[in-house]
Amino acid sequence: MTEFPRSPKVLKGAIVGIDIFNPLASVVVFQYNPEQLTRSLDPQYSDSGGARGEALRLGGPPRESISATINIDVIDQLQEGSETAGALGLYPQLSALEMLIYPKSALVIANTVLLATGTIEVVPPAGPLTLFIYGWQRVVPVKMTSLSISEVAHDPQLNPIRASADISMQVLTYNDLPLEHPGYWTFMAHQVVKETMAVIGSVSNIGAVLGENVKI
């Protein structure tokens, strides 16, 4: 009897907000990987005033935006008798996604206390370092620029049990972050990986142009 090989294990994409004060509050692992990612790159050429020979100078990495639609549900969990899914539906998962763009309540309260005690200038709380992870080749720091959630089914307690989220993100580069920020080095590593992939792709393309028997 012939045995079929097992299906390969599919890696799950994720959006992770790294916050030392509450590390588990913003971890969103995709239940279903998006069927489509839209990426837009805007080249950043330096402004040299039109000087001859300066037109191709780059002022930095391109401004990249990523958008995707994430579909989630708790149908399987409900069929398996999950108490959390039965009591709360998708509310915890949606909350983890939304917390990526909320300031932490403890920081808001602390700033409110400072204002009440006469502090003239209060620094707005910083959001978590957010990483978009889609395979080991693509781990990039991002900030959410748009989040739209459609709840398409609810349980009798009005908890959402099926939803889709349209997400838009801007990739943060070493031009956006200080040297000591971990996101600076995360993007630098991402670019090094991209450069390596470009070399692999270029070698393959040259071989295809010159002929399969040509060794490079």
Distance between CA atoms of residues 191 and 203, nearest Å: 18
pTM exceeding 0.85: no
Q: What is the pLDDT of residues 77-126, one digit of tens each?
A: 999 999 999 999 999 999 999 988 888 887 888 888 888 888 777 777 77
Work out the number of other CB atoms within 10 angstroms of the CB of residue 85: 23
Q: What is the pLDDT of residues 105-119, one digit of tens each?
A: 878 888 888 888 887
Sheet containing 139-154: which strands, arranged edge to edge?
Answer: 27-29, 14-18, 129-133, 139-154, 160-171, 58-73, 37-45
Distance between CA atoms of residues 89 and 82, nearest Å: 10
Question: Considering only 10-19, 57-66, 129-138, 199-208, which range has the smallest mean pLDDT?
Answer: 199-208
Domain residues of the chain, as ranges? 14-206
Structure tokens at 10: 């599919």
Residue 146 pLDDT level (bands cut at 50, 70, 90): very high
